[in-house]
Amino acid sequence: MYTDTGPAYSVAWVCDEVPVLVSQLSEELADLILSGSLELGAPLEEQALADKFGVSRTPVREALRRLASSGLVELRPRRPAIVRRLSSEELADLLEALGEIEGLCARYAAERMTQGERLLLKSLLEKSADALPDKDSASIRRYDAELHRLIHQGSHNRSLQKVARDMRSQASVYSSAPYTMPNHVSDPSVPHRQHEGIVRAILAHDADEAQRLMGEHIGSTLLTIQQLIGKSQTASRQGRLKHAAGMVRP
């Protein structure tokens, strides 16, 4: 995480782990945008961000491109990018569509997964459960992404897999928010229990139940994100108002 006391990333690490660095920068910037710390329309100067995070402009540029695909940043030719959050309606539309697409993936996975794929899915769920007691958010998020990827793959429909992958990529900064937002502690056991139900249905070849539970899972994610963003933005506004009041106090 970035702190005001200095850069969060060493030069050696930046050189060796650029893709990881881009992901971390994307998360940092997404948290600042979703929490309201960076206001709508605020310019995002590449050099200023590079100086702030103690990195070169290249990973900053890539992070901004990634956020643009998620609707958090608007890229402008020959001008700095600016902050652009998806509205509540746009976010709801995105996750509603994702729920339908992933629900279909879960249905087809229940019908079409090979025995080997089912065993791999079951094993991954068990590894995810092992990460819960330590509340290892990085591992939990990695297992979450891998579980959804395996379900996409298990649909055995390449066109559907591509649509699901692209939509999940677009929604990723929002779905990661409960684990990355500062001053928020999520309960990873809730989505894990939802995953357990989905996996049980897939392993039992119950296509209807797998599709229904996946849709409910994505709907629950939407509610969590909306509540979190609302609380964070309210707290940010209150903090700015308090600061402004202190500035004008005689």
| Secondary structure (3-state) at 17 | coil
Integer Cα distance of 216 and 194 in angstroms:
8
Residues 88-235, CATH architecture: Up-down Bundle (1.20)
Domain 11-83 class? mainly alpha
CB atoms within 10 A of CB 20: 13
| Residues 8, 1 contacting (CB under 8 angstroms) | yes
Over 70: is that where the pLDDT of 236 sits? no
Give the distance, in angstroms, between the CA of residue 158 and the centroid of all CA atoms in the same chain: 23
pTM: 0.72
Q: Which run of H or of E encompasses 75?
A: strand 73-76
Domain ranges of the chain: 11-83, 88-235
Over 60: is that where the pLDDT of 9 sits? no
pLDDT tens track for 27-60: 889 888 877 778 888 999 999 999 999 999 999 9
